[in-house]
Amino acid sequence: MFAHHRLRRGWVKCLAGVAALALAGSLAAAPAHAETTEAADDSSVLRIATDGFIDSFNPFTSFYLLPTNTFRYMYENLVANDAKDGSITEGLATEWNTDSDGKVWTYKIRPDMKWSDGEPLTANDVAWTYTQMMEKEEMAVANGSLVENFDKVEATDDSTVVITLKEPQANNPGQEIPVVPEHVWSKVDKPGEFKNDKDTVGSGPFQLESYEANKSVTLKANPNFWRGKPKLDEIQYRYYTNSDAQVQAIRSGEVDFITGLTPEQFTAIKGADGVELNDGHGRRFNGISINSGMADAKGKEFGTGAEALGDKKVRQAIRAGIDVETLRKQVMQDYAQPATSFIPAVYSTWALPTDDPVVSGFDVDQAKKLLDEAGWKEGSDGIREKDGKKLELRFLTDADAPIEQNTAKFLEPWMKDIGIKLENESSDVDTVSERTTKGDYDMYFSGWSVNPDPDYQMSINTCGQRPDADGNGGTTQDGYCNKDYDKLYQQQHVELDGAKRAELVKQALAINYEDTPSVMLWYPNQLEAYRSDKFTNFTKQPSDGGAIANQVGYWGYASVESASAEDASGEGGGLGAGGWIGIGVAAIVVIVGGAFFLTRRKKSDDRE
Amino acid sequence: MSTPTHDHPQPTDPENPETASAPESGGPSSGGSAAGGPSSGASGGPASIGPADMDEPPKGGSFLGYLLRKLGGAAVSMILVVVLGFFAFRMLPGDPVLKIAKERPMSPAQIAELRSQYGLDKPVIVQFWDYLVGILTGDLGESYVYRKSVAALIGEYIGPTLLLTATAAVIAIALGLWLGQLSAWRRNSLFDKLASSTSLVFWSVPTFWLGLILLMIFGGTLQWLPTGGMVTPGLEPWSFAAVIDVIRHLILPVVSLVAVVYAQFLMVMRASLLEEMNEDYLTTARAKGLTEDEVRRRHAVPNALLPTVTVVFLHIGGLIAGAVTVEAVFSWPGLGKLTFEAIRGPDLPLLQGTFVVFSAIIIVMNLAADLVYRWLDPRIRRA
């Protein structure tokens, strides 16, 4: 009885001590918190979460996404792609024209422009930059393909640049090539190896101030930007390896902008305090690429594609058997736009309209009819057969991509309905990439990001661009080859009349659609979120319902301004470091105290 | 049982360096047997010293011979790692250049230029020779992504990893050993059951899952702690504010790492102390009138620590490898994150470099475990 009482008293003492200490810890927390709130940040720094690779900030050599996007803010191009719909607008040049066959392009440079260091920006800088890329291999690593067709570039005076092409082209050649200051770059010893990662000199709205690998990239507003100094003082990219961590970071206000969310993350963050979402129409397409018989540019065949897929009717039947609308709503949770061709709908000038007569929808009866016509008759088990061979296809997917796995789950029963046995072969992304290069697949889930001018994406659907089984010789989207399509591609390539060119592009896309080298699924939306309690006035591209990040141009962040003068909301609630330390101390006290108590009990047992 | 931290960022990936490199080592499940000696080292420790032959000095005599044997074993492991490091990553599917060129408007000439810059246009045997010569001269090649020497990159990133793993190791070892000896002393008590089962629950939890949950609770929802990185950009390095900032960033990764690994120290300590508890000398100590506490602290624990120390050494190497996951979750700019990004690349020279370095750390730790054991155990030293 006596022992019991002592035991009780011990417990009470112990608990009281713990409580007192925990309280002391939490009290100590309050001032500590005030001290450690992010002193380095003021309201005019836009913090963006990223996990992008950076090799350097050299616009001649870097081809990774984050540096490329940064170049768009650092260096103005000869002509820009506007925010409204990506069409050509003034950049360094105020006006431009071409001779009657599109071979000689003349640009008038805006007078009295200055680099960020105050030096004058003239036509000579443009000619020097382009010539470097044309003459030196190491300067052509990133954008060499853009000047491949250039014969010579001259600055005829301080405000005129003349580009003479080898072959005529309708696509304005002054796009997407960052123009660098000659007075800085001509002094660099080995410009191909120059990192350019500190205090850069450029003509765009922001200049790189500093870069710490895997920590941060800091950009500073350029007061000499010809459209006027941006309202933001700085943009700072911060490294988050994990996209779930990025979501937590925007919830806690540690970053102000994130992009590339999955539909699940996007839904989860809805309604978070001070966070606004942007469900932007993207410039990317997803589709199911069909192996209709791989071959290189000379027609030498390779790969293991099913013979049945060489028949256009079978490919069309596959399209008719897929309920893309259901797929888009279920798999993408409606965060995607209906697709027609490989030119996304955001480029309304070029995209194949949904009401084009060639566009057909989900129609099981039509699918069955097409397969019947192709000679595939239903067997006893419901799977179609021809010459004793069953219609069995492989669908190659990335095991780590939920969207691809979910698509496969829908596709298998749908294909079975029309008499095709579809087997999902899911693998890691490197294996998928290797097998598609070798043509070792029947169907796979594919996707590309497309630039405002359709020429490049169209070119990788021509016969001459097909690589061999080792991936040498070119790039192809689906291994597609059709002489009629190639002819239309060539015609649009040199058609200077915009309206006529758009017509030719649409005709080519219609032929491609009819041939069905792939089944277009959707144009995924780019899901983004920003701290609307701190920043406002982001510009979207296209301005009606487009995305903020990964634009072709510098619109997204250049117009951003602080939401209000008073910026108190960022660090809401919470206990801060001190609070946590207090709780940590309390926890240790609980453990130590508890153990001490247990030890005591044992001891007293011994003694009594 | 392969690694102390039993999960990887991509469990199905064959290229994960620590899967291939980590030697067999005793984890919690085999804690009881590991207490017998470092018999589980990759290079083959001395034969398990059971209670039966305890008084018999091990055969094969002098310390020098023992040292040479251990060094030889370590050298063989290292050579295997170097060779494997090259070929394992070449066997991976996918062409790094094509992966980089994917979805980018690149002409065939540009792709060919990249191939030659990376040295991938040379025959594999020539590449292997260059790699071997490079390793011998301390040159691990140049990273594709960072365009910097791999050795310099590893030098830059090892600091944060050491800070993270050393902090976690100290806490995990202290916590594990302390709870372990208490558990053993009060075997089958409520405390023992609670402590042991809690530690095992944490040990079974995937690191990245635990990390994300902690991140969500303390970073996103409560907002007490930062959600990633090592230091807030813009702070003056080594200033008071920066040090506090680093400590704040350190808490969550360390807690995840400790929670997942301390069980193995607890279990090893518990098992070795249990073995000591039947010994006669404890009865003697009690007979002298010492309290239970004093018997435990002065007599039982020091003896039980002996096998534990070697196991601790074995696990330190594994802890560094285990940082890969934690660094990826918490965006900690260390070697683990570098490896994670190298896999994503795939950045072959960087992968090879981190693989060789991680493996070397583990091999060195194994060697140290063998040597320390020999040095610590008076029975073996006497021989």
Tens digit of pLDDT for each residue in A470-493?
877 788 899 999 999 999 999 999
Q: Does position B44 have pLDDT exceeding 80, yes or no?
A: no
Tell me the mean pLDDT in the region A228-248: 92
Sign (positive or negative) of CA dihedral A20, A25, A30, A31: positive
Over chain B, what is the mean pLDDT?
79
A607 backbone dihedrals φ, ψ, rounded to 5°: -80, -25
Between A431 and A208, name the one with better pLDDT: A208
Judge whether B151 is closer than 8 Å to chain A, CB to CB: no
Determine which of A241, A283, A440, A451 to mutate to test the interface with B (most B C-beta atoms within 10 Å).
Answer: A241
Q: Name the minimum distance, in Å, from the CA of B240 to any CA of chain A.
A: 10
Report pLDDT digits (tens) over A1-58: 444 444 444 444 444 444 444 434 433 333 333 333 343 445 689 999 998 888 899 9
Determine which of B142, B198, B331 to mutate to test the interface with A (most A C-beta atoms within 10 Å).
Answer: B331
Who among A254, A428, A475 is closest to B12 (CB)? A428
Which has the minimum average pLDDT: A203-217, A488-502, B51-65, B138-152?
B51-65
Nearest CA among A525, A242, A286 for reference residue A404: A286
Confidence of residue A529 (pLDDT cuts 50, 70, 90): very high
Taking contacts as CB-CB distances below 8 angstroms, the residues of chain A near B95 are 433-434, 437, 471
pLDDT computed for residue A584 by the predictor: 61
Query: Between chains, do B220 and A473 touch, taking CB under 8 Å as contact?
Result: no
Confidence of residue B31 (pLDDT cuts 50, 70, 90): very low
pLDDT computed for residue A587 by the predictor: 62
pLDDT computed for residue A325 by the predictor: 94
pLDDT computed for residue A366 by the predictor: 95
Who among B101, B226, B340 is closest to A254 (CB)? B226
Which has the minimum average pLDDT: A507-516, A544-553, B292-301?
B292-301
- Residue A511 near residue A532, CB atoms below 8 Å: no
Who among A249, A430, A595 is closest to B94 (CB)? A430
B250, closest residue in chain A (CA to CA)? A577
Confidence of residue A202 (pLDDT cuts 50, 70, 90): very high
pLDDT computed for residue A515 by the predictor: 95
Query: Between chains, do B234 and A212 touch, taking CB under 8 Å as contact?
Result: no
- Residue B267 near residue B179, CB atoms below 8 Å: no
Judge whether B88 is closer than 8 Å to chain A, CB to CB: no
Here the tokens at position B352 are 């090879």
Q: Name the minimum distance, in Å, from the CA of B284 to any CA of chain A.
A: 16
Tell me the mean pLDDT in the region A228-251: 92
Who among B157, B221, B331 is closest to A239 (CB)? B331
Q: Give residue for tokens 């899911």.
A: A426
Give all strands (DSSP E) within A357-479, no chain letters. Answer: 377-378, 384-386, 389-390, 392-398, 421-427, 443-449
Q: Name the minimum distance, in Å, from the CA of B68 to any CA of chain A.
A: 42
Query: Between chains, do B220 and A474 touch, taking CB under 8 Å as contact?
Result: no
Confidence of residue A591 (pLDDT cuts 50, 70, 90): low
pLDDT computed for residue A589 by the predictor: 59
Report pLDDT digits (tens) over A546-569: 999 999 999 999 999 998 754 444
Which has the minimum average pLDDT: A21-30, A350-359, A571-580, B172-181?
A21-30
Taking contacts as CB-CB distances below 8 angstroms, the residues of chain A near B244 are 35-36, 577
Confidence of residue A235 (pLDDT cuts 50, 70, 90): very high
Query: Between chains, do A602 and B329 touch, taking CB under 8 Å as contact?
Result: no
Confidence of residue A596 (pLDDT cuts 50, 70, 90): low
A68, closest residue in chain B (CA to CA)? B104
Query: Between chains, do B241 and A577 touch, taking CB under 8 Å as contact?
Result: no
Domain boundaries defined on chain B: 153-382
- Residue B331 near residue B215, CB atoms below 8 Å: no
Taking contacts as CB-CB distances below 8 angstroms, the residues of chain A near B13 are 428
Query: Between chains, do A36 and B337 touch, taking CB under 8 Å as contact?
Result: no
Q: Name the minimum distance, in Å, from the CA of A228 to any CA of chain B.
A: 26
- Residue A133 near residue A144, CB atoms below 8 Å: yes
Cβ-based neighbours of B175, under 8 Å, separated by 6 or more:
B258, B262, B265, B266
Tell me the mean pLDDT in the region B4-14: 39
- Residue B223 near residue A572, CB atoms below 8 Å: yes
What is the C-alpha separation between A597 and A254, in angstroms, rounded? 42
Give the CA dihedral A434, A437, A438, A443, nearest 10 degrees.
Answer: 90
Query: Between chains, do A475 and B10 touch, taking CB under 8 Å as contact?
Result: no
Q: Name the minimum distance, in Å, from the CA of B190 to any CA of chain A.
A: 11
B241, closest residue in chain A (CA to CA)? A36
Judge whether B145 is closer than 8 Å to chain A, CB to CB: yes
pLDDT computed for residue A592 by the predictor: 60
pLDDT computed for residue A601 by the predictor: 46
Determine which of A141, A248, A436 to mutate to test the interface with B (most B C-beta atoms within 10 Å).
Answer: A248
Report pLDDT digits (tens) over B123-172: 888 889 888 888 888 888 888 888 889 999 999 898 999 899 999 999 99
Q: Name the minimum distance, in Å, from the CA of A373 to any CA of chain B.
A: 36
Who among A55, A236, A606 is closest to B145 (CB)? A55
Q: Name the minimum distance, in Å, from the CA of A554 to any CA of chain B.
A: 20
Query: Between chains, do B228 and A249 touch, taking CB under 8 Å as contact?
Result: yes
Taking contacts as CB-CB distances below 8 angstroms, the residues of chain B near A213 are 146, 156, 333
Query: Between chains, do B234 and A474 touch, taking CB under 8 Å as contact?
Result: no
Query: Between chains, do B292 and A606 touch, taking CB under 8 Å as contact?
Result: yes
Between A105 and B96, name the one with better pLDDT: A105
Q: Name the minimum distance, in Å, from the CA of A194 to any CA of chain B.
A: 11
Which amino acid belongs to residue B295? V
pLDDT computed for residue B20 by the predictor: 38
Report pLDDT digits (tens) over A110-165: 999 999 999 999 999 999 999 999 999 889 888 888 898 999 999 999 999 999 99
Query: Between chains, do B247 and A141 touch, taking CB under 8 Å as contact?
Result: no
Over chain A, what is the mean pLDDT?
86
Taking contacts as CB-CB distances below 8 angstroms, the residues of chain B near A429 are 94
Taking contacts as CB-CB distances below 8 angstroms, the residues of chain A near B212 are 242, 244-245
Report pLDDT digits (tens) over A272-320: 889 999 999 999 999 999 999 999 888 889 999 999 999 999 999 999 9
Report pLDDT digits (tens) over B233-253: 878 888 888 999 999 999 999
- Residue B157 near residue B334, CB atoms below 8 Å: yes
- Residue A189 near residue A137, CB atoms below 8 Å: no
What kind and span of H or E run contains A96? Answer: strand A93-98
pLDDT computed for residue B379 by the predictor: 62
Query: Between chains, do B248 and A451 touch, taking CB under 8 Å as contact?
Result: no
Q: How many CB pairs under 8 A join A and B?
A: 209
A464, closest residue in chain B (CA to CA)? B108
DSSP codes, B186-229: TTTSHHHHHHHHHHHHHHHS-HHHHHHHHIIIIIIIS--S-SSS
Q: Give residue for tokens 């080859």.
A: A481
> Is the previous residue joined to A542 through a cis bond, with omega within 30 degrees of 0?
yes
Which residues are paired to A236 by β-bridges? A47, A218
CATH number listed for the domain at residues B153-382 = 1.10.3720.10
pLDDT computed for residue B375 by the predictor: 75
Taking contacts as CB-CB distances below 8 angstroms, the residues of chain B near A41 are 234
Judge whether B150 is closer than 8 Å to chain A, CB to CB: no
Determine which of A197, A252, A598 to mutate to test the interface with B (most B C-beta atoms within 10 Å).
Answer: A252
What is the C-alpha separation between A304 and A415, in angstroms, rounded? 20
Tell me the mean pLDDT in the region B265-287: 87
Q: Name the minimum distance, in Å, from the CA of B108 to any CA of chain A.
A: 5
pLDDT computed for residue B59 by the predictor: 52
A554 backbone dihedrals φ, ψ, rounded to 5°: -115, 30
- Residue B238 near residue B299, CB atoms below 8 Å: no
Judge whether B93 is closer than 8 Å to chain A, CB to CB: yes
Query: Between chains, do A215 and B231 touch, taking CB under 8 Å as contact?
Result: yes
pLDDT computed for residue B378 by the predictor: 62
Nearest CA among B108, B100, B115, B113 for reference residue A476: B108
